[in-house]
Amino acid sequence: MKSKTFSGYQRDFAKALLVKPEYTMEEAKKVLDNFFGKEGINDGRRNLDKPE
């Protein structure tokens, strides 16, 4: 969680979602992106141009 890749995520939510002891960067990002609805967005903001 110390990587800049995850700087756009709230740490407490990420810790609650990532329940396994270890994840690869790709696995962790996929879990978080699926929950927060981020499809390839790395800056932590929602894409308001994309319909949900």
Between these two residues, 7 and 47, which has the higher pLDDT value? 7
Q: What pLDDT, on a 0 to 100 scale, did the predictor assign at position 48?
A: 58
Q: Tell me the helices (H) and strands (E) count for the chain, helix number first.
A: 2, 0
> Each residue of 14-44: pLDDT tens digit?
889 999 999 999 999 899 988 887 655 445 5
Nearest Cα to Cα of residue 40 among 10, 16, 22, 32: 32
Q: Which residues contact 20 (CB under 8 A, 6 or more apart)?
A: none
Q: What pLDDT, on a 0 to 100 scale, did the predictor assign at position 46?
A: 58
